Amino acid sequence: MLVCGIQTDTCVLAAGFALFDAGLQPTLITDLTLGSSLDRSGQLGVRLWQHHFKHLTASAELTFL
């Protein structure tokens, strides 16, 4: 399941936990996320995502049929 959004370290991370709890494998699209006021770059959220879910990608790596 591909995930992107705003506030990577809070809202997006919470969505990742919900997907994981539902038995899905969430993958964060790192260049389509933004951080919160605590971390505008979103890098904190990306690091937390990698720690919890392991799966990261970038939009350039995606191919659609």
**What is the pLDDT, as a whole number, of residue 52?**
96
**Side chain identity, residue 52:** H
* Ranges of the chain with pLDDT below 50: none
**What is the pLDDT, as a whole number, of residue 65?**
58
Enumerate the domain spans of the chain. 2-61
Across the beta sheet with 27-34, what order do the strands follow? 2-6, 27-34, 56-57
Cα 7 to chain center, whole Å?
A: 10
**What is the pLDDT, as a whole number, of residue 37?**
79
Distance CA 53, CA 26 (A): 7
Q: Is this prediction's pTM over 0.75?
A: yes
Tokens, residue 50: 């990698």
Distance CA 2, CA 17 (A): 13
